[in-house]
């Protein structure tokens, strides 16, 4: 590849948001017939850089060359004209349209829309690369992976030969990921240039030909994937050596703490979200919860936390001394009044767990502000707690008076987890606790959770990264379409087995 | 390189307070310059004389200064009333109706009870009635919002018309003399139900009451548990539920307070100064208060300045139209220009413009530049 001309050359690309330098004179080459993995921690500027290539942002300085010619990309339309297409993390599809309708949406082709011709062209693209899309299927009937396929076909339909995928596997099961990778390899063979943004090392190793690493908005280096390894890449991303192993201490004296039986939850519009879910969470143990997104994880945690109306079932809290309490039908205040310290780190950190516009102190007192009889709030102890959390979890913040919204994702999560842990819970519920967090911050969170476990807390950990779930959990509860597909031992099960259980009740066992 | 953008807009991260105020100050200076230009072009008058007249209209005599104070107090009182609801993102634009209905309740007490109960009891009853009427008028939409998620903006707006019609009806019922279409001054001879006068100004009581309310509201919003709950509910109802705040209860409680304060405004207007009720007694201040509250970013102390500015502009504009015998609309034009600049300045506080020059691109094949932000200007 020495003599090949890069499809894209990005030179000295600089982008600033306010006072933060998101990209600092970044150089990047993208070649045809090659899969480039763009690696970097959160906030290292990967997505920003690619957004400038796809016309969403405009660089403050620097230039972009496509096939050796300098170009100005001012809008996604400009990018398409240059054959550049990006598949975003959040899909941008119209639910009530079919796949084919979504694919041609926004194209200004002269004459009437010829649905048949469109469907034909879509089928042709699918055949070439091995996609599995029915052009006439409505988007609301599709699984996440199918929606993603539509997004990719949409880009190909527009004639893109430089494809950018932003964390494409975050929402996929292992089986779906394999399928996606096969398609990407086909596209590579067809001479397309492919960039995938990710921070999952094993995917980089499995798929990419070359790796480019960004750190704090700067280009650190690129190398052939074959000539490096996960440890080296991680060190480059983080800037110093880190350990990739997650600790899993043996549970000490586990006793049943939370007993869920026959839990059935219906959403507001009558859709069954959880059906007859039963399990026991033990003290001193991490119970992982796996499942395709939307399999009822959110409803399960919110039902336990008293935030979700339940159709039937029972959630019994078993006290260490043998007593017990039925939590069903209680709201969070009732639960606390009952003396059960139940901490909940919800998925939506700034929309539920914290108040984005409030500062650290005010967020610390969200749960405790009622304390005392005075009509005035006491900000002294929350302030102490805030500075404690900041120093113990090394939250990087300019001060306690800054709105949490301004903190980076990892620091926001540290504030939230810090507050929930400070309550000294006996049950800790976490939903996607490390979503969007970089390696360093993720390991801080695993550590905190492990320490809670060692103190005898019953931890329920809802996760999406199966590798992590398998390394961290003592037992794994697998949900499939709102039902319990099985509960397996985290030490002995395999990723493949859990993946099968996620897509099919009981997995392989019943075949 | 033929279709480059030469500037773009980005959100500012944060601005030190003094720079924000410098921008606002600059906006006012610019506004005055534009006003001067408009004045010269349209009327040929000397702009400095116009400004002097505006100032005289607001402060020229002791009476004018008192009237300014009274108008400021009432506008500020209504602004304080809508603010807790606004902090909760409950868009109460029904302050007009809440003031009207409490003014009506106050007048009703004065008319119907004047001869039946001692004066002190009358004042107690009419105060309670006014405050209760305002609170009820506000809590009706709040109840429907909390229970059925109705749109509070439309609901409160509609309640305004109901209040106006009720007042119009009772004005005819109680009109004095018959056929005049107005109630006239209530209890002119006995002064029954007139709020006591402090010193020789009938406006001082109102100003003092609203001053105290301003401080109380500031403390309530920023330092009490209720104020904290309001802020959480306003920011995110899901967070509020997550920490066990009863959202319905907070909405209803807050609107009771909001309406009660509108009730105070109605009481001060009828019992304190006007001693009569008309359909225009609120005078659009229920809506102006919305602007005051927003301009002050829902901060009660900043509302003192915001309402002062609006009242000052209004009084000044009045004076200009009489002194120079200009159409009254001319004063409105000036007020509009000034408000345009003040509100427009918020754009420059929240966003900044970047201009970029060719140099930023770097010549093809150039080495990495040594400096990051060269050729860039921030506005």
Q: Give pLDDT tens digits for A68-115.
A: 889 988 888 889 889 999 998 778 888 899 888 888 887 777 777 788
Residue A197 DSSP symbol: E
Q: How far apart are the C-alpha atoms of B261 and B134, rounded to whole Å?
A: 7
How much is the average pLDDT of B191-200?
85
Task: Say whether the ipTM exceeds 0.85.
Answer: no
Whose CA is closest to A26, among A14, A16, A38, A41?
A: A14
| Residues B216-225: contacts with CB under 8 Å, at least 24 apart | B217/B80, B217/B83, B217/B84, B217/B261, B217/B300, B218/B299, B218/B300, B218/B301, B220/B84, B221/B83, B221/B84, B221/B87, B221/B298, B221/B300, B223/A376, B223/A377, B224/A375, B224/A376, B224/A377, B225/A369, B225/A370, B225/A375, B225/A376, B225/A377
Q: pLDDT (tens digit, 9 = 90+) per residue, A158-178? A: 888 899 998 888 777 778 888
Whether chain B has a CB inside 8 Å of the CB on A331: the answer is yes
Q: Which of A332, A336, A365 sits opposite B242 (nearest CB)?
A: A332
Assess whether pLDDT exceeds 60 at residue B370.
no
Whose CA is closest to A302, among B115, B242, B252?
A: B242
Residues 6 or more apart in contact with residue A58 via CB below 8 angstroms:
A52, A73, A74, B5, B8
pLDDT for the residue A252: 87
pLDDT for the residue A240: 76
SS3 label, residue A224: strand
pLDDT for the residue B378: 40
Share of chain A above pLDDT 70, in %: 98
- The residues that bridge with A20 in the sheet, in sequence order, are A17
Shortest Cα distance, chain A CAs vs residue B296, angstroms: 17
pLDDT for the residue A68: 87
Q: From residue B138, how far is each of A80, B71, B94 by CA, in Å?
A: 54, 23, 7
- Judged by phi (left if over 0) then psi (alpha if -120 to 50, else beta), residue A275 lies in beta
Query: Quick one: how far is CA B70 from the chain centroid?
Result: 14
| Binary contact (A11, B228; C-beta < 8 A) | no
Q: For residue A435, with 0-12 CB atoms within 10 Å meaning exposed, 13-18 middle and 19 or more buried, which class applies?
A: middle
Whether chain B has a CB inside 8 Å of the CB on A341: the answer is no
Read off the pTM.
0.78
Whose CA is closest to B310, among B345, B268, B275, B338?
A: B338
Query: The tokens of A196 are what?
Result: 């995938």
Q: How many residues does chain B have?
A: 379
- Cα separation of the two ends of chain B: 25
Q: Give me the helices (H) in A322-397, please.
A: 332-337, 360-364, 380-392
Which of B97-101, B146-150, B329-333, B374-378 reaches the highest mean pLDDT? B97-101
Q: pLDDT (tens digit, 9 = 90+) per residue, B333-355? A: 888 888 899 888 888 888 877 77
| Binary contact (B231, A355; C-beta < 8 A) | yes
pLDDT-based confidence at B367, cuts 50/70/90? very low
Q: Which of A18, A72, A377 sits opposite B11 (nearest CB)?
A: A18
Q: Which range has the worst mean pLDDT, A12-21, A191-200, B3-12?
A: B3-12
DSSP B116-175: TS-HHHHHHHHHHHHHHHHHHHHHHHHHHHHHH---HHHHHHHHHHHHHHHHHHHHHHT-
Domain with CATH 1.10.3470 in chain B: 72-323
Assess whether pLDDT exceeds 60 at residue B373.
no
Which candidate in A11, A57, A59, A61 is best for mutational testing of the B interface (most B CBs within 10 A)?
A: A61
Assess whether pLDDT exceeds 80 at residue A3.
no
Do A219 and A189 meet the contact criterion of CB atoms below 8 Å apart? no
| Binary contact (A352, B238; C-beta < 8 A) | yes
pLDDT for the residue B8: 67
Q: Select the more confidently predicted residue: B175 or A473.
A: A473
Whose CA is closest to A488, among A480, A477, A496, A479?
A: A477
Q: Select the more confidently predicted residue: B350 or A418.
A: A418
How much is the average pLDDT of B354-362?
53
Q: How far apart are the C-alpha atoms of A150 and A88, rounded to whole Å?
A: 12
User: Phi and psi at residue B13, in whole multiples of 5°?
Assistant: -75, -55
**CATH fold label, B72-323:** ABC transporter involved in vitamin B12 uptake, BtuC (1.10.3470)
pLDDT-based confidence at B372, cuts 50/70/90? very low
**At which residue do the structure tokens 């480039």 appear?**
A36
How much is the average pLDDT of A351-371?
91
Q: How far apart are the C-alpha atoms of B27 and B89, rounded to whole Å?
A: 28
By C-alpha distance, the chain A residue nearest B378 is: A18
Structural domains of chain A ordered from first start: 8-238 (3.40.50.300), 245-341+425-438+456-511 (3.40.50.300), 351-423 (no CATH)
| Binary contact (A377, B224; C-beta < 8 A) | yes
pLDDT-based confidence at B252, cuts 50/70/90? very high
- Judged by phi (left if over 0) then psi (alpha if -120 to 50, else beta), residue A142 lies in beta
Q: How far apart are the C-alpha atoms of B295 and B288, rounded to whole Å?
A: 11
Q: For residue A424, with 0-12 CB atoms within 10 Å meaning exposed, 13-18 middle and 19 or more buried, which class applies?
A: exposed
- Chain A segment 394-423 residues within 8 A of B by beta carbon are 406
Q: Which range has the worst mean pLDDT, A237-241, A334-338, A415-419?
A: A237-241
Do B106 and B129 meet the contact criterion of CB atoms below 8 Å apart? yes
pLDDT-based confidence at B43, cuts 50/70/90? confident
Torsion of CA B86, B90, B93, B94, to 10 degrees: -120
| Binary contact (A12, B362; C-beta < 8 A) | yes
Shortest Cα distance, chain A CAs vs residue B293, angstroms: 19
Q: Between A and B, how many CB-CB pairs are < 8 A?
A: 105
Q: Select the more confidently predicted residue: B327 or B72.
A: B72
**At which residue do the structure tokens 């009044």 appear?**
A337
How much is the average pLDDT of B93-100?
95
Instruction: Cis check for the bond before B177: say yes or no (omega within 30 of 0).
Output: yes
Whether chain B has a CB inside 8 Å of the CB on A378: the answer is no
Q: For residue A510, with 0-12 CB atoms within 10 Å meaning exposed, 13-18 middle and 19 or more buried, which class applies?
A: exposed
Q: How far apart are the C-alpha atoms of A281 and A257, rounded to whole Å?
A: 6
Q: Which range has the worst mean pLDDT, A119-128, A477-486, B222-231, B313-322?
A: B313-322
Which candidate in A375, A382, A420 is best for mutational testing of the B interface (most B CBs within 10 A)?
A: A375
pLDDT for the residue B332: 80
SS3 label, residue A510: helix
Q: Select the more confidently predicted residue: A19 or A463.
A: A463
Residue ranges of chain B whose CB lies within 8 Å of a chain A CB: 1, 3-5, 8, 10-14, 223-229, 231-232, 235-236, 238-239, 241-244, 354, 356, 360-362, 364, 366, 368-369, 372-373, 376
pLDDT-based confidence at B13, cuts 50/70/90? low
Mean residue pLDDT of chain B comes to 86
pLDDT for the residue B5: 52
Query: The tokens of A168 are what?
Result: 């494409």
Q: How far apart are the C-alpha atoms of A348 and A402, rounded to whole Å?
A: 20
How much is the average pLDDT of B24-31?
88
Q: From residue A413, how far is each of A360, A421, A448, B128 by CA, in Å?
A: 12, 12, 12, 49
Assess whether pLDDT exceeds 50 at residue B23.
yes
| Binary contact (A60, B5; C-beta < 8 A) | no
pLDDT for the residue B76: 96
Q: pLDDT (tens digit, 9 = 90+) per residue, B165-177? A: 999 999 999 988 8
Mean residue pLDDT of chain A comes to 88
Assess whether pLDDT exceeds 70 at residue B358.
no
Burial A255-290 (b: 16+ CB within 10 A, else e): eebbbbeebbbbeeeeebbbbebebbbbbbbbbbbb
Do B353 and B379 meet the contact criterion of CB atoms below 8 Å apart? yes
Q: pLDDT (tens digit, 9 = 90+) per residue, A273-286? A: 999 999 999 999 99
By C-alpha distance, the chain A residue nearest B15 is: A18
Assess whether pLDDT exceeds 80 at residue A484.
yes
Whether chain B has a CB inside 8 Å of the CB on A63: the answer is yes
């Amino acid at each position: 590849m020495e003599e090949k001309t890069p499809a894209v050359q990005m030179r000295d690309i600089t982008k600033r948001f306010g006072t933060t330098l998101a990209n600092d004179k970044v150089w990047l080459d993208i070649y045809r017939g090659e899969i480039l993995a763009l690696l970097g921690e959160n906030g290292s500027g990967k997505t920003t850089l690619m957004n400038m290539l796809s016309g969403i942002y405009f660089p403050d300085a620097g230039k972009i060359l496509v096939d050796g010619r300098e170009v100005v990309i001012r809008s996604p339309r400009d990018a398409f004209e240059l054959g550049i297409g990006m598949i975003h993390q959040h899909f941008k599809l119209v639910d009530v349209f079919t796949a084919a309708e979504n694919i041609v949406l926004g194209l200004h082709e002269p004459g009437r829309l010829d649905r048949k011709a469109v469907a034909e062209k879509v089928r042709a693209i699918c055949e070439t690369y091995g996609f599995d899309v029915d052009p006439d299927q409505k988007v609301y009937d599709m699984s996440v992976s199918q929606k993603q396929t539509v997004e990719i076909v949409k880009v190909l339909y527009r004639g893109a030969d430089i494809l950018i995928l932003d964390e494409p596997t975050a929402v996929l099961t292992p089986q779906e990921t394999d399928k996606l990778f096969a398609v990407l390899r086909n596209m590579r063979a067809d001479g397309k240039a492919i960039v995938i943004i990710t921070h999952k090392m094993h995917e980089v190793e499995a798929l990419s030909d070359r790796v480019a690493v960004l750190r704090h908005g700067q280009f650190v280096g690129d190398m052939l994937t074959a000539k490096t390894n996960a440890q080296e890449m991680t060190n480059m991303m983080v800037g110093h050596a880190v350990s990739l192993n997650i600790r899993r201490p043996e549970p000490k004296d586990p006793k049943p703490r939370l007993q869920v039986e026959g839990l059935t939850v219906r959403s507001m519009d009558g859709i069954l979200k959880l059906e007859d879910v039963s399990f026991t969470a033990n003290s001193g143990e991490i119970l992982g919860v796996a499942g395709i997104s939307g399999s009822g994880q959110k409803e399960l945690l919110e039902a336990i936390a008293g935030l979700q109306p339940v159709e039937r079932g029972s959630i019994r809290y078993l006290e260490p001394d043998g007593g017990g309490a039925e939590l069903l039908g209680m709201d969070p205040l009732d639960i606390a009044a009952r003396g059960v310290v139940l901490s909940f780190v919800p998925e939506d950190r700034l929309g539920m767990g914290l108040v984005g516009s409030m500062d650290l102190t005010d967020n610390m007192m969200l749960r405790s502000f009622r304390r005392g009889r005075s009509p005035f709030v006491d900000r002294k102890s929350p302030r102490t707690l805030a500075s404690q959390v900041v120093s113990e979890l090394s939250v990087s913040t300019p001060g306690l008076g800054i709105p949490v919204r301004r903190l980076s994702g990892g620091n926001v999560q540290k504030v939230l987890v810090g507050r929930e842990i400070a309550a000294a819970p006996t049950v800790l519920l976490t939903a996607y606790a490390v979503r969007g967090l970089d390696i360093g911050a993720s390991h801080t969170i695993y550590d905190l959770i492990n320490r809670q476990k060692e103190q005898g807390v019953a931890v329920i950990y809802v996760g999406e990264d199966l590798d992590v779930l398998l390394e961290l959990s003592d037992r794994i509860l697998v949900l499939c379409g709102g039902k319990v597909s099985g509960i397996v031992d985290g030490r002995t099960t395999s990723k493949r087995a859990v993946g099968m259980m996620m897509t099919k009740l009981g997995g392989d066992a019943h075949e | 390189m033929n279709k480059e953008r030469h500037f773009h807009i980005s959100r500012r991260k944060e601005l030190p307070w003094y720079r924000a105020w410098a921008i606002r100050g600059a906006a006012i200076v610019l506004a005055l310059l534009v006003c001067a230009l408009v004045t010269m072009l349209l009327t040929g008058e000397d702009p400095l004389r116009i400004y002097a007249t505006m100032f005289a209209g607001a402060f020229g005599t002791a009476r004018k200064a008192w009237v300014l104070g009274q108008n400021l107090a009432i506008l500020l009182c209504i602004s304080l009333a809508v603010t807790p609801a606004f902090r909760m993102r409950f868009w109460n634009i029904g302050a007009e109706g809440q003031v009207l209905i409490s003014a009506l309740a106050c007048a009703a007490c004065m008319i119907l009870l004047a001869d039946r109960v001692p004066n002190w009891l009358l004042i107690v009853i009419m105060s309670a009635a006014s405050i209760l009427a305002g609170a009820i008028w506000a809590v009706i939409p709040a109840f429907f919002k909390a229970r059925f998620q109705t749109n509070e903006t439309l609901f409160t707006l509609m309640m305004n018309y109901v209040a106006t019609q009720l007042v119009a009806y009772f004005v005819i019922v109680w009109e004095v003399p018959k056929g005049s279409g107005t109630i006239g001054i209530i209890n002119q001879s006995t002064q029954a139900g007139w709020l006591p006068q402090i010193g020789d100004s009938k406006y001082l009581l109102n100003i003092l009451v609203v001053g105290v309310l301003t401080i109380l509201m500031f403390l309530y919003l920023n330092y009490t548990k209720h104020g904290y709950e309001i802020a959480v509910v306003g920011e995110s109802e899901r967070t509020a539920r997550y920490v066990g705040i009863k959202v319905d209860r907070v909405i209803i409680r807050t609107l009771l307070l909001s309406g009660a304060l509108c009730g105070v405004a109605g009481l001060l207007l009828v019992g304190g100064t006007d001693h009569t009720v008309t359909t225009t007694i609120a005078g659009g201040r229920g809506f102006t208060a919305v602007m005051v509250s927003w301009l002050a970013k829902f901060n009660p102390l900043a509302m003192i300045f915001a309402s002062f500015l609006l009242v000052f502009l209004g009084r000044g504009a009045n004076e200009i139209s009489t002194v120079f015998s200009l159409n009254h609309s001319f004063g409105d034009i000036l007020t509009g220009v000034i408000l345009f600049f003040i509100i427009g300045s918020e754009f420059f506080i929240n966003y900044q413009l970047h201009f970029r020059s060719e140099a930023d691109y770097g010549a093809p094949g150039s080495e990495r530049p040594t400096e990051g932000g060269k050729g860039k200007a921030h506005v």
